[in-house]
Chain A
Amino acid sequence: ETGVTQSPTHLIKTRGQQVTLRCSSQSGHNTVSWYQQALGQGPQFIFQYYREEENGRGNFPPRFSGLQFPNYSSELNVNALELDDSALYLCASSSRGTGMSGYTFGSGTRLTVV
């Protein structure tokens, strides 16, 4: 059983650019959630995808968008990058009905905006 994998592990972008982060969910999991963790803070919920549709969104602007594919993998896209977008981006997969015992985080993508 493979875990949640994220790519890339590290990324440096310039303010105003666009970025795409990728996540492959754990085998058997159909729900993917994305979190942003700024330095010294807890993770904050960005959005969740279930069956290829957005299923809940946190307090993030529309320039944060996402996709989920038929194989349940997911992408997080951020347009018009700002310095404050520098953070660790975490993807978590889960499966409806299994409860939170199945909430597995990937290793994260460290995004630095300069």
Chain B
Amino acid sequence: QKEVEQNSGPLSVPEGAIASLNCTYSDRGSQSFFWYRQYSGKSPELIMFIYSNGDKEDGRFTAQLNKASQYVSLLIRDSQPSDSATYLCAVMEYGNKLVFGAGTILRVKS
């Protein structure tokens, strides 16, 4: 069983700062990694996915992958109060099945 670990938080950052969310995974053979955002009472929403080592940027979001260290992170630049949510890290198993971490609560204070 693959495992995905995240710090539950809450992570508190001031508005305009960079929020850094981290995730480690147990299966060295994992290939695909995903970040979902989940507002309270809502379903997860895909923010980014990354397959290759290095950085992938999309607007204010940057995903970073280090397969050697089995580590994936999400950076949110210019954090806004609307970014306050739970961020779920997920790894894909064979057959399009996702293994999720428990999520990190992010609070952006204005």
| Chain A residues within CB distance 8 Å of chain B | 31, 33, 35, 40-45, 48, 55-56, 58-59, 88, 90, 92, 94, 96, 99-101, 103-108, 110
| Chain B residues within CB distance 8 Å of chain A | 1, 4, 8, 32, 34, 41-46, 49, 88, 90, 92, 95-103
B43 x A45 contact (CB < 8 A)? no
Given A55-B95, A56-B95, A100-B34, residue A41 in contact with residue B102 (CB < 8 A):
yes
B96 x A40 contact (CB < 8 A)? no
* Contact residues in B for A101 (Cβ distance below 8 Å): 46, 49
> B88: shortest Cβ distance to chain A, in Å?
5
In angstroms, Cα B96 to Cα A104, docked, is 12
In angstroms, Cα B8 to Cα A10, docked, is 26
Instruction: Name the residue of chain B whose CB is nearest to the CB of A88.
Output: B43
Instruction: Name the residue of chain B whose CB is nearest to the CB of A47.
Output: B97
Given A100-B34, A100-B92, A101-B49, residue A44 in contact with residue B43 (CB < 8 A):
no
| Total A-B pairs, Cβ < 8 A | 62
Specify which of A42, A56, A99, A105 is in contact with B97 (CB 8 Å cutoff): A56
* Contact residues in B for A59 (Cβ distance below 8 Å): 1
In angstroms, Cα B92 to Cα A94, docked, is 13
B101 x A42 contact (CB < 8 A)? yes
In angstroms, Cα B100 to Cα A34, docked, is 13
* Contact residues in B for A106 (Cβ distance below 8 Å): 43
In angstroms, Cα B43 to Cα A106, docked, is 7
Given A100-B49, A101-B49, A105-B44, residue A31 in contact with residue B96 (CB < 8 A):
yes
B96 x A43 contact (CB < 8 A)? no
Choose among B4, B45, B99 the residue with the greatest number of A CB atoms under 10 Å from its CB. Answer: B99
Specify which of A35, A94, A104, A107 is in contact with B42 (CB 8 Å cutoff): A107
Chosen A-B contacts, 17 in total, with CB atoms closer than 8 Å, are: A31-B96, A33-B98, A40-B8, A40-B102, A41-B103, A42-B88, A42-B90, A43-B88, A56-B95, A56-B97, A96-B96, A100-B98, A101-B49, A103-B98, A104-B46, A105-B45, A107-B42
A94 x B96 contact (CB < 8 A)? yes
